[in-house]
């Protein structure tokens, strides 16, 4: 997925993950996009200073409804 696709999915209220369900992409209160590791809680920015993804783009996915 691209940065644009990830942000659009979040804007639509969809959940986006990286690699597995433990890494959720979120937008925080001040507008930062973060990849949050839930167990234990830890986070990095979605992108680096150049706007490129911090993680392998092929491993992002949108949660599908059951």
31-53 confidence digits (pLDDT tens): 999 999 988 889 999 999 999 99
- pTM of the model as a whole: 0.81
Cβ 16 vs Cβ 57: under 8 Å = no
Cα 58 to its chain centre, rounded Å, is: 12
**Domain boundary assignment for the chain:** 1-39
Cβ 60 vs Cβ 1: under 8 Å = yes
* Percentage with pLDDT > 70 across the chain: 97
pLDDT at 65: 67
């Amino acid at each position: 997925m691209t940065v644009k696709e990830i942000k659009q999915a979040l804007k639509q209220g969809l959940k986006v993950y990286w690699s597995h369900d433990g890494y959720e992409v979120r937008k925080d209160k001040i507008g930062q996009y973060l990849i949050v590791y839930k167990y234990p809680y830890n986070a990095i920015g979605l992108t680096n200073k150049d706007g490129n993804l911090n993680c392998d783009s092929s491993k992002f996915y949108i949660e599908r409804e059951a």
